[in-house]
Chains A and B, each alone.
Chain A
Amino acid sequence: MSRRALEHIASEIGADVVETSDELGDASVTVRPSALHRTLEFCRDDPRLRCDLLLDVIGVDYPDRAERFDVIYSMRSLSTGERVRVKTRVADGEPVSTASDLWNSANWAEREVYDLYGVPFSDHPDLRRILTHHEFKGHALRKDYPIEKGQMCYVPEKLLTDEEIRFGPQLYGRTMDRSDAVVEEEEISSDYLTVNLGPSHPATHGALRIEALLDGETIIHSKSEIGYLHRCFEKESEDHTWQQIIPYTDRLNYVSALTNNVGYVLAVEKMMAIEVPERCQTIRVLVAELGRIMDHLVCVGTNLVDIGALTNFWYFFNAREHLYTVVERMCGERLTTSYTRIGGLYRDLYEGFEDELRHSLGKVEEAIGEVTALVQRNRIFMDRAVGIGAISQEDAINWGWTGPCLRATGVDYDVRKASPYGGYETYDFDIPVGENGDVYDRVLCRIEEMYQSIGIVNQAMDRLKPGPIFSEDRRVTMPPKDEVYNSIEGMMNHFKLVFEGIQVPAGEGYGFSEGANGELGFFIVSDGSGNPYRIKVRPPCFPIFSSFTELVKGHMVSDAIATLGGLNIIAGELDR
């Protein structure tokens, strides 16, 4: 599959292809910078490839190389299932031609590479910093930037420029509805109101900021800003061993930490070609789905709070507390679970787990039933949600959407079905899809997904058989104690794992799974040492939120709030 894709690209681009690779089954092609745009366009438009979903743009720094930076475009085709990475190598300061004219999702992704590596993109419409603040000096993910070098920000950035505020109406094609034709300039600026939302606003559920230009209550133009929760996951991961990164993955999408834990270890295990025992696989599926349920409970609950339906939040949060009880007994923490390990799990399930979980799931189902009854045909809710924040399938794909938000538009892309991992192909579940891609469909999709997840959890519980939870692979698993004490090999193995950590073979790979918000990817570069050389997270929220300003254009402020809640933006994974 991937080899054929590479042949297509090689025959089209010809001499500008530097090298191709299908390591770990991922098609990856390196081209000269001059041919990058042509290659990307070919990948997008060629009927045999049709890579319509740009997942991510990734930067990697090799300070010893003359062409210092790798810029990697990671794509997937929704129709052919093809995954292609196009890579180019550039020297410090050498511009890369932007792909934001091909995919909207490239806009923010390229800004991130610019911010963290200082790679300029030519013809980019809005090349500003995105994760670090505007007073930041240097580029934080370069290998020569010290991890602990913090830089204070003194003044919050102004998002809308004076020009945009002053000439907003002319710039954004809205004329004022007033009888007298002669309007003074001062009057124009006073008629359009700028409103700042966040980064400490209750409806943003995290640290986001939106500055909107309003005509009455209608948003005619807005700009959003992220990075207020940039906790440097990627820099931290270069500073830690492979196992030590697991706690950091909890705090990406902290509402569904379990799902992230599973996603990360799957990616590393893909790099190392590790098989885990059946019981471990089943438990992973089980906890990943628990994470999804917990995520959707918060998302739907808070979305409804934002549009005034507070009761539902209490119902859902009570259900969540029931799950917390189980999760806390399972791994010792309510929220930040760190339950998985590379090659296994932190520990086995406790005695009586199944009974408790069944009881809790009963409570969850009860809560979902109550909330569905309250909102599904509720006149007020439907008025607030139907047709609000709607997006077409083509636009959603172009913006790089995945997950429940994409499925609400009617595209049935779910990693669990499209490229099953961890045994998902053996479970019986459906992918709920919506029709209109509006807030209403998103809420209902998530509610239905919870039912499906409960079904998967029940199936997984039925399959649980006693057995080992750790892989036999001695590259990742500690040897049994009697081997450590009685044989030199066992002792050395133990010593090496403790002092040097897991050694992932050199190479690069992209591991992906279905997170609560969509495709959660980990692009991993290893140099064979005990620390990752580079880990790039593909957070599902990031492309989704980048489209927010387009989504709310022409809507009212209160609709923007409803839309934002339905997108389920989790700042932890948005900013990392």
Chain B
Amino acid sequence: MRKKEDIELIKQIKGGDVAAFSQLIESHQNMVYTLAKGIVKNKQDAEEVAQDAFVKAYKSLDKYKGDSAFSTWLYRIVYNTSISKLRQRKPEMKDVDDKQTDKYEYRIADNNKHRLELQERKRLLKLALNQLKEEDAFILTLYYYKELNIEEISKASGLSPSNVKVKLHRGRKQMHEELNKMLKGELNSIL
């Protein structure tokens, strides 16, 4: 459904209706921002990356031929823009949510005998994603949330399918470790 709407909007934009691009931004901005943040691990940079990605997408909209979903094509731009941002950045920049991890550990320790509530699970996942390597967070989000297959993730990232599989496996493993670390070994009983 979304694909059809996207194609219709793209037609309008190519026909000269630039304002229609704001609707495209509206429907994709949350995912674009989330993916960018998963890679750059920083709110401000993620915001810049998302903006740049949308502007780049607009400028190269003529190159989009509709071979894949618009979102997959857009995620490729987000991925490349995020990686460029990381390369420009100095290594001292660290995740904004880093400090929250410790607090979370203590809070969990108090009530770790109960199943985690929805908000806590969401927060836990967010923190764990933030601990993953840049590309792994991107790939895991597309695989588990957007339910893209390996081929589609390969298109969205520009990595080979076998490379995507390796990173997916590594991401899963690291995520399990991070979750376990945060929940102090109570992962299986809590989740």
A binds B: no
Residues of B in contact with A (beta carbons under 8 Å apart): none
